[in-house]
Amino acid sequence: MATPLLEIRNATKIYGGGFLQRGNRIVALQNFSMTIPGQPAVITTVAGESGSGKTTLANAILGFISLTSGQILYKGQDISTLKGRDATMYRREVQAIFQDPYEVYNPFYRVKHIYDMVISHLNLGYTKEQARELIEQSLRVVGLRGEEVLEKYPHQLSGGQRQRVMVARAYMMNPKLIVADEPVSAVDASLRAMILDVMLKLRDELGVSFIYITHDLSTAYQIGDNIFVLYQGSIAECGRTVDVIERPHHPYVQMLIASVPVPDPKVKWGTLLEGVADETMRYKVESGCRFYPRCPHRMDRCLEAMPPLYPVGDHGQQAACYLFEK
């Protein structure tokens, strides 16, 4: 069996909770496992609301934070042990697109600075002319021209243009994996389609896999192949996107899907959600299912231990809920 592109094994990240900080522990991510195959290229969605741990996951994959326990393996190697040329290779092959298209630019430099950085530091092996041509080509893919944007300062471009330049940069690197953290949340509806379309193009034509992190299930439904739905640090349900969204099994995921407003005035939400306690405040590690306070099907069983993932439906769909214990 071929080595998967990215393998996350039981990743756990706990903040605080040190020697002098009893009571301030936050379990951001708990026992998260996910595999992205080398082939074919897939778009894997990690969906969740605030506090679900999806941003922590993105930061861990990109190497900005280290895990409390568990491993992240890229092509079989633990990323926390990468050095020298292997580390450079990781930086080349794993790219990112972030949510805020303004923050990612250093306001002191012109827009082309983001390209200059990678050309200087990632040993791409291009001559100046080749690099320039590649930059132009990547900008064309997102509908921009070099002369429009490269010599300008970030504040002189619109939000949509800035985000497109970021996508172009990711495209130019020809990476194997792109971590896209809410890439279209801060962008207008008109550009959303274009950016998502570029993502699809990258997958189909260049074989780039994506980890698409979002809270918006509608766009996830449009472009995701697989989906992992997180709730307060753990996987609630995972499987093929069409399966999970059309036939959700986990009570939280069911509630989530039912709450997404359908853009059709004839299809209203239905009855008011009854008996749903408001979202709880963050709390310490506790055993048992995190969704217990809000779950309409809660049982005593659920408080004893965190439910593992049980198979539901077909095609490898799984839900972490004792309702599906065989």
Partner 1 sequence: MSTQGTTLYPASTDRNGREVVLDVRNLRIHYETPKGDVIAVNGISFQVYKGEIVGLVGESGCGKTTAAMGILQLVPSPGRILGGEILINGRSWLGLSEKELRERRWRELALIPQGAMNSLNPVMRVREQIADAIVTHEGYQPKDQLKKRILDLFALVGLPPRVYDLYPHELSGGMKQRACIAMAIALNPPLIIADEPTSALDVVVQRVVAQTLLDVKERLGVSMIMIGHDMGLQAQMVDRIIVMYAGNIVEVTPVEPAFYNPLHPYTQLLISSIPSIKERKPLKITSGLTHDLRNPPPGCSFQFRCPHVMDICKRVPPAMIEREPDHWVACYLYGKEEKED
Partner 2 sequence: MTESQVVQMPGAATPKPVRKINRWDNPWLNSKFLVGSGMVLFIVLLGVVGPLFWDTRLARVGSAELNLPPMGFTVEVDGIKYVGTPKHPLGTESNGRDMLALIITGAPMSLQVGVMAALIGMGVGIVLGSAAGYLGGWVDNIIRTVADSVITIPALAVLITISAYVRQIELSTMALILSLFAWPAPTRFVRAQVLTLRERGYVRMAQLSGVPPLEIMLKEMVPNMLPWIAASLSGNITGAILAASSLEALGLGPTRIPTLGMTIYYAIRAVAMLRGMWWWLGFPILTLTIIFVGFFLIATGLDEIANPRLRGVKS
Please identify, using beta-carbon distances, which residue of 121 and 315 lies nearer to partner 2.
121
What phi and psi values does residue 235 have, to the nearest 5 degrees? -75, 125
Residue 283's binding partner out of partner 1, partner 2, none, with CB under 5 to 8 Å set by partner kind? none
Q: Which stretch binds partner 2 (CB under 8 A): 89-97, 185-193, 210-218, 282-290?
A: 89-97
Please identify which residue in 10, 16, 22, 117 interacts with partner 2, judged by CB under 8 A. Answer: 117
Residue 261 interacts with partner 1 (CB under 8 A): yes or no = yes
Among 121, 145, 284, 301, binds partner 2 (CB under 8 A): 121
Q: Is the distance from CB of 45 to CB of 216 less than 8 angstroms?
A: no
CB of 95 to partner 2, least distance (A): 7
The dihedral built from the CA positions of residue 38, 192, 234 and 250, taken in this order, carries a sign that is: negative
Given the complex with partner 2, which of 46 and 114 has the nearer CB atom?
114
Long-range contacts of 129-137 (CB under 8 A, 24+ apart): 134/172, 135/168, 135/172, 137/172
Reading the block at residue 102, the tokens are: 């303004």
User: Taking Cα atoms as reference points, which of 52, 61, 47, 63 lies closest to residue 28?
Assistant: 52
Would you call 272 helix, strand, or coil by DSSP? Answer: coil
* Number of residues counted as binding partner 2 (CB under 8 A): 24
Q: Is 86 in the site for partner 2 (CB under 8 A)?
A: no
| 258's tokens | 């039912």
Residue 106 touching partner 2 (CB under 8 A) = yes
User: Tokens representing 235?
Assistant: 């996987």
Which one among 87, 273, 299, 305 touches partner 1, defined by CB under 8 A? Answer: 273
23 near partner 2 (CB under 8 A): no
Query: Pick from partner 2, partner 1, none: which does 281 bind, CB < 5 to 8 A by kind?
Result: partner 1
Helix count and strand count (H, E) for the chain: 11, 12
Q: H helices within the chain, ranges in order?
A: 54-61, 84-93, 113-121, 128-141, 146-149, 159-172, 189-206, 217-223, 241-246, 251-259, 301-304
165 binds partner 1 (CB under 8 A): no
Q: Does 162 bind partner 2 (CB under 8 A)?
A: no
Q: According to the binding rule CB under 8 A, does residue 256 interact with partner 1?
A: yes
Q: In what order do the strands lie in the sheet with 177-181?
A: 94-97, 177-181, 209-214, 43-47, 226-231, 234-240, 318-319, 310-311
Applying the rule CB under 8 A, the residues between 49 and 78 that interact with partner 2 are 62-64
- State which of residues 1, 108, 155, 326 lies at the interface with partner 2 (CB under 8 A): 108
Between 119 and 142, name the residue whose CB sits nearer to partner 2: 119
The site for partner 2 (CB under 8 A) is made up of: 62-64, 88, 91-92, 95-96, 98, 100, 102-109, 114, 117-118, 120-122
